[in-house]
Structure 1
């Protein structure tokens, strides 16, 4: 590496990473997934993407930037996004949301489903499936015949690897420790030191790849939306746009659950009313 390159490099490591390289990576990530990277994420970008450079046999981040900007680089842009996002999840994370779903939402949804009505729930950033399966366990505990009625849970995520894990539905014993024992025993099957989602739970949840800032191909509106701890990675204009897009996707009096550090902002705030801690109902 030349002295000029050393001065320009943000990190003195195996691969040169210049401010321009970082700017391009941040711009491409924002355009592809809506995620905002600030300069405080330089070390994260280097450590996560250096693995991609090694796997691809590249010599610098400049080479990588040229690659991901190519017309045929959709798969690598997806791999970059997966590398730079953190999939932190657990069963029944923020348990007050599941208590609200059980006690405040499910009685009416159960009544409607039993009367022949349509009921739809959406886990909008489902990671490896622990959130939608938690939703499913609550639904089935309150409405055991859900699979015989018009009830479905849609689970979406931008990362195809997470979708594959969710579809497989196999988790460690440690991961299931956060689930109530009675629900775990009812809806999961123990296989050695792992648990596999049972057929009743699998039938209820459908996993699909979806980019929240891209097209939403779903038809019909949702009675429940969980979108938690993902919008915090977007800049404010993108956050406001996502919140506003949820409103027309919500059925009358639908419920939206968001992350503990998130707040509804922008025009969508006028269309929602608070119904609990980080819980909102669509205003009439």
Structure 2
């Protein structure tokens, strides 16, 4: 088949049956909601995978990824369909609350020999966990020598590889306050690398929020922002109790600006301000 013929095959519209199969699979695998109106977006994002694995069209891809032979391809499909948008210090009011209310007692605990654990769930290319690390070190530089760890997790292995590189363009670091750039960024030609003392606080892990979570200890703070908005309502409702279980008593949960905790889970949390919550119960 000539290159022109392959390209022509790639551009054939996906059948309704094929789109339905991929939509159902995306919901089962990652909780993604893909209504018919997203068909053009799905086709656009999956065409690159066709070329990478040598399939002729999207209908063939649908059959393959839904088959037993295509199980390994599913994580790459989810990666292609996932929206990865992140910025340093996004939704700055959360970082003001982190600095002023959340971190002071955690810093005291760490200085007394205790541990501090923070989770950035759906961390994309790493800007959120690195922003958290910068905020911690700005508040208390000695936390670099304490038992403080920030976990960044995402379903997308490719985007996690970028996060671990910790290298960003000038436009990407524009959201970092000027007073932090000199201490926490290293200029490398046309790009910037996160400074070692920041990177040392952060660990990355591939994690599907719909699957079992392997972390054994509880977290003092969880950032899960602009993630659950892509899930259907039953999936969202199932996650809020799980986040509550993953939080230490009185632990903090930050969600995205357009996200709200489901009504059937509001008893598990205390509202602390704009899209900020604490786990209800002892210590809350």
Range class of TM-score, shorter chain: over 0.9
Q: Which consecutive unaligned segments of at least 5 residues does structure 2 have? A: 1-8
Partners in 1 of 2:256 and 2:20 — Cα distance? 28
Secondary structure in structure 1 of the residue aligned to 2:80:
helix
Structure-2 residue corresponding to 1:275: 272
1:87 partnered with 2:89: no
Partners in 2 of 1:50 and 1:115 — Cα distance? 54
1:102 partnered with 2:76: no
1:76 partnered with 2:73: yes
Matches within 5 A, 1:88-167: 88-167=85-164
Which of 17, 20, 38 aligns to 1:20? It is 17
Structure-2 residue corresponding to 1:210: 207
Over 6 Å off, 4+ runs: none
Question: Under a length normalisation based on structure 2, what TM-score does the superposition of the two structures give?
Answer: 0.93
1:224 shift after superposition: 0.5
1:242 shift after superposition: 1.1
Partners in 2 of 1:174 and 1:13 — Cα distance? 33
Instruction: Count residues with an aligned counterpart.
Output: 273
1:18-62 Cα shifts (integer Å, max 9, x gaps): 111111000111111111111110110111112222333323322
1:177 partnered with 2:171: no
1:125-158 Cα shifts (integer Å, max 9, x gaps): 1000000000000011112111221110000000
Partners in 2 of 1:50 and 1:215 — Cα distance? 31
Equivalent pair of 1:247/1:268 in contact (CA under 8 Å): no
Secondary structure in structure 1 of the residue aligned to 2:192:
strand
Structure-2 residue corresponding to 1:251: 248
Which of 194, 210, 214 aligns to 1:197? It is 194
Which of 239, 262, 267 aligns to 1:265? It is 262
Moved more, 42-51 or 18-27: 42-51
Q: Which consecutive unaligned segments of at least 5 residues does structure 1 have? A: 1-11
1:206-259 Cα shifts (integer Å, max 9, x gaps): 011101101200011000000000100000000011111101100011110000
Partners in 2 of 1:267 and 1:115 — Cα distance? 38
Structure-1 residue corresponding to 2:63: 66
1:77-124 Cα shifts (integer Å, max 9, x gaps): 111111111111100010000000000101111111111111100000
